[in-house]
Amino acid sequence: MTVKDKRLELRVTGEQKELIEQAAALEGRSVTDFSTHALTEHAHEVIRREHQLTLDAELFDAFRAELDRPAEVLPGLADLFRRPTVFRD
């Protein structure tokens, strides 16, 4: 069982509160359960949209053409990969 030990406080208008309470009651849920479910679902959607790459057909075709091009040999790249990393854990 997940422990719910964090709080999130919101201020809403009377109209918003009544609407949320009515919707929660219609689904047979508590206001807390209804609200956390709705907020979590919307948060997932916002994050998904932010991480999704969207291109129109013309740009997608250009992107695919770049991916299909043969790789180029870049002078010094192999040497760069042989150097010790500058990043440390």
What pTM was computed for the model?
A: 0.61
What confidence tens digit (pLDDT) does each residue in 13-24 have? Answer: 999 999 999 999
What pLDDT score was predicted for residue 1? 84
pLDDT at 89 over 80: no
Quick one: average pLDDT of 17-40? Answer: 97
**Domain boundaries in the chain?**
14-69
Q: For 36, list phi and psi in degrees, rounded to 5.
A: -65, -40
What pLDDT score was predicted for residue 72? 87
d(CA 19, CA 36): 15
Percent of the chain surpassing pLDDT 70? 99
What pLDDT score was predicted for residue 21? 98
d(CA 49, CA 64): 22
* Residue 88: band (very low, low, confident or very high) from pLDDT cuts 50, 70, 90: confident
Q: For 10, list phi and psi in degrees, rounded to 5.
A: -130, 145
